[in-house]
Amino acid sequence: MHIDHAHAPLRPIKYRRSRLSMLRKNLNRTSWPARIGLAVVILYAVMAIFAAVLAPFGEADVVSTEPFAPWSLVHLFGTDQLGRDVFSRLIYGARNSVGIAFITTTIAIFIGGSLGILSAISHPWLDYLLSTLADTLMAIPQLIFALILLALFGSSIPSIVLIIAVLSATQIFRLSRSLARNIAVMEFIEAAHLRGEKPPWIIAREILPNILPTLLAEFGLRFCFVFLTISALSFLGLGIQPPSADWGTMVRESATFISYGNITPLLPAIAIALLTVCINFVIDWFLDVASGLRDDQ
């Protein structure tokens, strides 16, 4: 490009942003709740992954002869009813509680999402069958349904994961079905059909990219619900079983201490509450970014 007429105001050339600079731009645009939220989510992830390194004591090790020891330098948050270190169990709890909720939500979004898209683009009878099934499963309040199934199969981690995943999948099914139906009637889908593309290609290249942001936000919201449901079940003594450190179970085991004004039993509950609030902050920010409404302003 020759600069012959330097006096004329040159419009800056607009490069297409790289993914990294897009990410940086979006991060710069975050509000402070979203920044706190992201920081907390990352902190939890680190805690879950490096629990064995970070925790001063083992998950189920009895490290003190004194049950319910007060807070001290050795045992930061004291010990529990068996003399296990509460601080270490809190860190391991991130792995168990958050990890199990994460796996459950992943299964749920996979089942619900794929069946929803399938239902939207396949024969009406299959659509009817799947929709009726989902509606029937949703006719019973989720916790009550989970309690029935737990009474049946007993509470072990695989059965909790599967039960909650299937029950949550009904909601995701409804959402992804209605999203995919809206996309499936668009002209570019018809064009793809006419080009002779096969259904798997259409799903992967045309439908999925269009509904992915909403599904990702749904993943976050659903994760909160799943996490709260599993915590409630554990708190009721029907979820993750001891000796695994789990936040719901930990609240239940030390709950009597509340009556003496001790806040140690509240720590795992605070851990649960903090994560759900922060995920909500992140989702709000994500939806804001994904909708692209404020882009290039």
Partner 1 sequence: MGSGFVTLFIVSLIIFAAIAVLPGDFAKVALGRSATPETVANFQRSLGLDRPVTERYVSWIGGAVKGDLGVSFSSGPGTPRTVNSIIGPRLKNTLFLAAIAALISVPMALLFGIIAAIRRNSWLDRSLNALTLVGISFPEFFVAYVLMLLLAVKLPIFYSLARITPGMDVVEIAERLALPVATICFGIIAHMMRMTRAAIINLLSSPYIEMAKLKGTAPWIIVLRHALPNAWAPISAVIAFNLAYLIVGVVVVEVVFVYPGIGQAMVDAVRSRDIPVVQGCALIFATAYILLNLLADVIAIATNPRLAHPR
Q: Which of 238, 240, 245, 250 binds partner 1 (CB under 8 A)?
A: 238
Dihedral (C-alpha) 204, 206, 209, 212: value to the nearest 10 degrees?
-80
Number of Cβ within 10 Å of residue 68's Cβ equals 18
Q: Which of 228, 241, 242, 288 binds partner 1 (CB under 8 A)?
A: 228
Size of the site for partner 1 (CB under 8 A): 41
Asked if 235 is part of the footprint of partner 1 (rule: CB under 8 A), the reply reads: yes
Question: What residues between 255 and 274 interact with partner 1 by CB under 8 A?
Answer: 255, 258-261, 263, 265-266, 269-270, 272-273
Asked if 153 is part of the footprint of partner 1 (rule: CB under 8 A), the reply reads: yes
- The H helix count followed by the E strand count for the chain is 13, 0
Residue 59 sits at φ, ψ, to 5 deg, of: -60, -45
Asked if 226 is part of the footprint of partner 1 (rule: CB under 8 A), the reply reads: no
Q: How far is CA 29 from the centre of its chain?
A: 23
Asked if 150 is part of the footprint of partner 1 (rule: CB under 8 A), the reply reads: yes
Asked if 183 is part of the footprint of partner 1 (rule: CB under 8 A), the reply reads: no
Nearer residue to partner 1 within complex by CB, 157 or 273: 273
CB of 264 to partner 1, least distance (A): 11
Cα-based angle 76, 238, 147 (whole degrees, multiple of 5) = 145
Q: Is 83 helix (H, G, I), strand (E, B) or coil?
A: coil
Asked if 236 is part of the footprint of partner 1 (rule: CB under 8 A), the reply reads: yes
Asked if 276 is part of the footprint of partner 1 (rule: CB under 8 A), the reply reads: yes
CA distances from 169 to 100, 165, 221, 279 (A): 16, 6, 13, 20
Helix (H) or strand (E) holding 100: helix 99-121
CB of 255 to partner 1, least distance (A): 7
Ramachandran class of 22: left when φ > 0, alpha when ψ lies in -120 to 50, beta otherwise = alpha
Q: Which of 46, 148, 186, 212 binds partner 1 (CB under 8 A)?
A: 148
Binding stretches for partner 1 (CB under 8 A)? 136, 139-145, 147-148, 150-154, 224, 228, 231-232, 235-238, 248, 251, 255, 258-261, 263, 265-266, 269-270, 272-273, 276-277, 279-280
